[in-house]
Amino acid sequence: MDKKLAEALEFSNYRLTINNQKQNLKLRMHTMCIVGYANSIFNATPELIAFVKLIIDSGNTQYVFLDSNENPVLVTDLNDFYSRLLGAYTSAINEYYTELIKLNQVRSVAEIVG
């Protein structure tokens, strides 16, 4: 096979594998953002975190939120809820960042497979 073509195919395989690994990291990050709270399951998204902060800053002491299955849930300790959401999101995004840096330094499929 032509050397240039062989190199192109190898690079294509490498990109495909890298892309799959990135998808895996993203999925892992999303599952790390799951927070069990008030007998329900929430996804710690930047939107929810910002909304909870807004509700706190508006002087509310309790509020009804939709959980990840769209069930309405009354949260009575907003500050605790906020810190749980932010904590989960921070751990998830930090792990995603660290793992992605490691992945970006990998230069071959063999290195990914380990």
Burial of 12 (0-12, 13-18, 19+ CB in 10 A): exposed
Contact status, residue 109 vs residue 17, Cβ threshold 8 Å: yes
Minimum distance of another protein from residue 111's CB (angstroms):
11
Binding of residue 39 to another protein (CB under 8 A): yes
Buried b (16+ CB within 10 A) or exposed e, 65-97: bebeeeeebebeebeebbebbbebbeebeeebe
CA distances from 64 to 4, 40, 46 (A): 60, 12, 18
Does position 23 interact with another protein (CB under 8 A)? The reply is: yes
User: CA–CA separation, 98 vs 7, rounded Å?
Assistant: 29
Interface residue with another protein, options 6, 7, 8, 24 (CB under 8 A): 24
**Min dist. Cβ of residue 59 to another protein (A):** 29
Q: Pick from 28, 51, 78, 84: which binds another protein (CB under 8 A)?
A: 28
Contacts of another protein in 62-101 (CB under 8 A): 68-69, 71
Identify which range of 2-10, 26-34, 55-63, 74-82 contacts another protein by CB under 8 A: 26-34
Contact footprint for another protein (CB under 8 A): 13, 16-17, 20-21, 23-24, 27-28, 30-31, 34-36, 39-41, 68-69, 71, 109, 112-114
